[in-house]
Amino acid sequence: MTAPSARPPARRRRAGGLGPSPLWGYAMIAPAFIGLAALYLWPFAKTFGKSFMDTPAFGPGTWTGLDNYTELLGDGDFWQAFGNSAIYTAILLLGVPIATVLAALIQQIGRGRAVYRVLYFLPVVTLPVAVSMVWRFIYNGDFGLLNWALSLVGIPGQYWVADDAYAIYAIGAVGIWMSLGVNLIILGAGLQSIPPELYEASSMDGAGRVRQFFSITLPLLSPSVFLVTVLTVISALQMFDLVFVMLRSVDNTALDGSKTIVYLFYEKAFVQFDQGYGAAIAVVLLLVIMLATVFQFRVQRRWVFYD
């Protein structure tokens, strides 16, 4: 097959080598697709199927239709877990404005910017279990660092992760801290794409730093902020590890008041051997995440600015 000489050589080689058949396209994505199908689609189909079954600990289940779902809707534990996950998600959303301001501040730094980024990124590459163990110590009601620090300014300490009035908030604070690193990267990349001329021009017009932040940075950064918000909601609704490790033992007095949806799923499916019920929880969680995401995409038209 010969191509017109006007075409660049690279283009000719590609066309000549692979031919025009669309099968090549499928062949090329096959490895990724097979992996995706085996690791995501197939397990999802199994989970979806199981959610309509009454399952013994091992072996095939029996079809029970919507029983798991109707039981779920009347299950106080489920609604409490749902509420806890909602609180946790709301707390993590507070982390988005924090990350936005921090990203803008770090962008202002000339020398040593990398140091700050590494500091904020460290929690992301640290094992959640290790992070949780350290925070358990910080939050300890009798010997913890936090209560010691509070005592210096005369505030009475609390059993932060043993009292269900505080535990989900204490865990949420750790969640914000852990998610900052990734959020700062996304927002930092967004900031780099804002043309510096805009800042130069506006400062000639007499705009201060704060004015610049609200009139230039925020609107131009809004697509990144939107992305961060969507990702935050998804990961917050899926939170499991922090509760699992920080409230550690099943005897913890705060556990009943701080279980998240995924923790409840774990408990039902893997501790109580009720996989069908666990699967139903997982499907409901998926629906909730989908609805939350669709909702955000609807609302974004009002506040996200695409130039």
Partner 1 sequence: MRYDKRWSAAAVAATALVLSACSGGGEDGDVTLTYATWSDDQKPAMEAIAEAFEADHPDIDVEVQVLPWPEYWSTLQVGAAGRTAPDAFWMLADQFPAYAEGGQLLDIAGAVEEAGVDLSAYPESVMDLYDSGDALYGLPKDFDTNGIWFNKALFDAAGVAYPDDTWTWEDTRTAAQELTDADAGVWGIAAPIDRQGGYYNSIYQAGGQVIGDDGKAAIDSPEAVSGIEFWTNMQADGSSPTLQQLSDTEAVQMFMDGKIAMYFSGSFWAQRLYGDEAFRANVGVAPLPTGQQRASMISGILNAGYAGTEHPEELAEFLIFASGEEAAKIQGESGAVLPAYEGTQQTWLDSMPEFDLQVFVDAVEYSVPLPISGNAAEWTGLEGEYLTPAWNGEQSAADAAAAYNAAIDEVLAE
Q: How far is the CB of 141 from partner 1 (least distance, A)?
A: 5
Quote the CA–CA distance of 274 and 116 in Å, as a whole number.
Answer: 46
Question: How far does Cα 75 stand from its chain's mean position?
Answer: 26
Interactions with partner 1, residue window 47-66 (CB under 8 A):
56-59
If you ran DSSP here, which 8-state letter would residue 143 be given? T
Quote the CA–CA distance of 100 and 96 in Å, as a whole number.
Answer: 6
Q: How far is the CB of 64 from partner 1 (least distance, A)?
A: 13
Which CB atom, from 41 or from 189, has the smaller least distance to partner 1?
189
Three-state secondary-structure class, residue 110: coil
3-state secondary structure 259-304: CCHHHHHHHHHHHCCCHHHHHHHHHHHHHHHHHHHHHHHHHHHHHC
Quote the CA–CA distance of 139 and 158 in Å, as a whole number.
Answer: 8
Is residue 289 within 8 Å of residue 237, measured between CB atoms?
yes
Which CB atom, from 89 or from 174, has the smaller least distance to partner 1?
174
Q: Which of 206, 250, 298, 307 binds partner 1 (CB under 8 A)?
A: 250
Interactions with partner 1, residue window 123-152 (CB under 8 A):
124-125, 136, 139-144
Q: Which of 2, 5, 21, 249 binds partner 1 (CB under 8 A)?
A: 249
Task: Count the helices and strands in the chain (H runs, E runs).
Answer: 15, 2
Looking at 6-14, 148-156, 262-270, 295-303, which segment touches partner 1 (CB under 8 A)?
Answer: 262-270
Burial class (CB in 10 A: 0-12, 13-18, 19+), 156: exposed
Looking at 92-100, 183-191, 194-202, 293-301, which segment touches partner 1 (CB under 8 A)?
Answer: 183-191
Looking at 31-39, 112-120, 212-220, 297-305, which segment touches partner 1 (CB under 8 A)?
Answer: 112-120
Q: How far is the CB of 57 from partner 1 (least distance, A)?
A: 4
By C-alpha distance, which of 220, 144, 229, 139 is closest to 182?
A: 229
Q: Is 255 in the site for partner 1 (CB under 8 A)?
A: yes
Which CB atom, from 254 or from 285, has the smaller least distance to partner 1?
254
Burial letters 216-231, b for 16+ CB under 10 A, else e: bbbbbbbbbbbbbbeb
Q: Which of 66, 149, 271, 287 binds partner 1 (CB under 8 A)?
A: 271
Looking at 64-72, 119-127, 170-178, 292-300, which segment touches partner 1 (CB under 8 A)?
Answer: 119-127
Looking at 182-190, 203-211, 213-221, 226-234, which segment touches partner 1 (CB under 8 A)?
Answer: 182-190
By C-alpha distance, which of 192, 195, 182, 265 is closest to 228?
A: 182
Q: Which residues bind partner 1 (CB under 8 A)?
A: 56-59, 113-114, 117, 121, 124-125, 136, 139-144, 159, 161-163, 185, 188-189, 192, 244-245, 247, 249-256, 266-267, 270-274
